[in-house]
Amino acid sequence: MTDDLLGRHRAVLPDWLALYYEEPIEITHGEGRHVWDAHGNRYLDFFGGILTTMTAHALPEVTKAVSEQAGRIIHSSTLYLNRPMVELAERIAQLSGIPDARVFFTTSGTEANDTALLLATAYRRSNTVLAMRNSYHGRSFSSVGITGNRGWSPTSLSPLQTLYVHGGVRTRGPYAALSDDDFIAACVDDLVDLLGHTRPPAALIAEPIQGVGGFTSPPDGLYAAFREVLHERGILWIADEVQTGWGRTGEHFWGWQAHGRSGPPDIMTFAKGIGNGMSIGGVVARSEIMNCLDANSISTFGGTQITMAAGLANLTYLLEHDLQGNARRVGGLLIERVRAAAAQVPAVREVRGRGLMIGLEITKPGTDEADPQAAAAVLEAAREGGLLIGKGGGHNTSSLRVAPPLSLNVAEAEEGAAILENALRSIQ
C-alpha cells in the first residue's frame, strides 16, 4: 500500500475502521490459498478475508458462475421469482437438518442475526435474549446489544434485554478448573438459576465456536444440555453458524452437530464462507417460526441473482470435493504442528480449535494476563514471513486466529506452520 492510499483511507473513512499491520497492505489479487499485495509480495492466506474465502481465491467454478450470471441479470430483488435463490434455498434447507425449514437470505451475518432476533422475539413475544459471554454477533444496533465481548460492543443501549450465560470459554472463568462433565453441569445449574430470576426469554443465541472471541468453545454437549432446559420452557435456540458452518470444523458440517443429542436448532444463521467472498447471509428456521411475522417484508439485495449463483457454485464445489473431510485431515495435521511449535513458547497459553479453525491465546509468560502487544508482534512477524493470520479474543484481543481456505493442502499447511513457528519464536 502506498502512503497516498493510506492517507486517502484515513481522510474519508471512520477512525474506528481498523487496519491490520503497522504498515497496512493493499491486497490486489489472489489464487488458491495465496494473495499478493500492491508491491508484489505473495502471502499464504490463513485468514481468508475473515473466514470468508472458504474454498479458494479465484476458484474457477465460482468466477465462471458469477461471470455468466452477470451476463444475464445481476439483480431484480425478492419481488420477483428468482431461480438461483430458490435452488440455493432448497439445498441449504436440506443440509440444515431443520424440519420443514424455510430460508431467508440477507447480505451479511450481522443482518442474518438481526433477522433471527426479529423472528425469535416476535414468535415468543419477548424482548429478553440469552447470549454467551465473550460472544460476537455483528455490528448492528441489535446485534451489538447481544455481543458479550467488550472490545466489540461500543454501547450498552439496546432494544433488547440481554442476559449473559456462562460456558462459551472452557479455560477461563469460575468453572475452568472443573472436569468437562462438571463444567457442563455447573453451567446448566447457572442457566436454570438465571431463568428463575427473569421473565421468559425469547431465545438463547450462541456460536458453537466463538469466532471473534478467539475460537473458544465449551465442551461438546453443553448446548445439548442447555437445549433440554430451554425446550422445557419453550425458549428457542439460535445457532450462529456464521463462522462455524459449511464443514470448517472438520468433524461436522455445522458446529451445532458437536452437541448433537439436542437435535437441530430452532433457528440457524449463516454467512461468510458460503459466498466465497460474495455478500451472502441468511437464516434457516422451522416454518412456523419463519412465518410468524404479520407485516410485509422483502429484501432488496438479499438473495440477488449474482450472489446466489456464486453460492450455488461454491457449495457444489465444497460438497463434490469433500472439503469438510479435507478440513478434518489437513486441519488435524496443522493444529498438531502448531501445538508442537507453541509448546516451546511460554507466551502461548493455549492452542485450541478444530478442523481449519485454530486459535492461539497469547499471554505474559507464566500468567493468565493477556499480552495484546505480543499478539500484535506475532501477527507482524507472520506477515513478514509471508503468512496472513487474524486476531481476536475477549481479553484485549490477545488471541491469534488461523482459518485458511478449506482446500488447503498438506504442503501449504506445513509451510504456514513453519512461518508461524518462526513468528512465535520472535517474541521470546
User: How many residues are there in the chain?
Assistant: 428
Same structural domain for residues 271 and 392? no
> What residues have CB less than 8 Å from 299, skipping those under 6 apart?
77, 78, 104, 105, 106, 107
* 303 grid coordinates: 438473495
Phi-psi region of 284 (alpha: psi -120 to 50; beta: other; left: phi over 0): beta
Same structural domain for residues 312 and 327? no
Same structural domain for residues 384 and 407? yes
Same structural domain for residues 70 and 133? yes
Same structural domain for residues 213 and 136? yes
Question: What pLDDT is stored for residue 39 in this prediction?
Answer: 96
Q: Residue 199 has what DSSP assignment?
A: P
Last residue of a domain, one of 284, 302, 320: 320
Q: Which residues of the chain have pLDDT under 50?
A: 1-2
Residue 83 maps to which CATH number?
3.40.640.10
DSSP 201-226: PSEEEE-SSBTTTTSB---TTHHHHH
Domain total of the chain: 2
* 91 grid coordinates: 439445498
Nearest-angstrom CA–CA distance, 162 and 146 = 6
Same structural domain for residues 122 and 208? yes
Query: Which residue from 208, 215, 244, 209 is spatially nearest to 359, judged by alpha carbons?
Result: 215
Last residue of a domain, one of 262, 293, 320: 320
Residue 391 maps to which CATH number?
3.90.1150.10
Same structural domain for residues 45 and 77? no
Question: What pLDDT is stored for residue 396 in this prediction?
Answer: 62
Q: Residue 136 has what DSSP assignment?
A: -
Same structural domain for residues 76 and 7? no
* 27 grid coordinates: 491486497
Q: Residue 164 has what DSSP assignment?
A: E
Nearest-angstrom CA–CA distance, 351 and 335 = 8
The H-or-E segment that residue 246 falls in is none
Domain extent, residue 201, equals 64-320
Same structural domain for residues 47 and 137? no
Question: Distance of alpha carbon 334 from its chain centroid, rounded?
Answer: 19
Same structural domain for residues 343 and 313? no
What is this structure's pTM?
0.95
Nearest-angstrom CA–CA distance, 108 and 91 = 19
Last residue of a domain, one of 302, 320, 338: 320
Amino acid, single-letter form, for residue 146:
I
The H-or-E segment that residue 314 falls in is helix 305-320
Same structural domain for residues 316 and 364? no
Same structural domain for residues 148 and 48? no
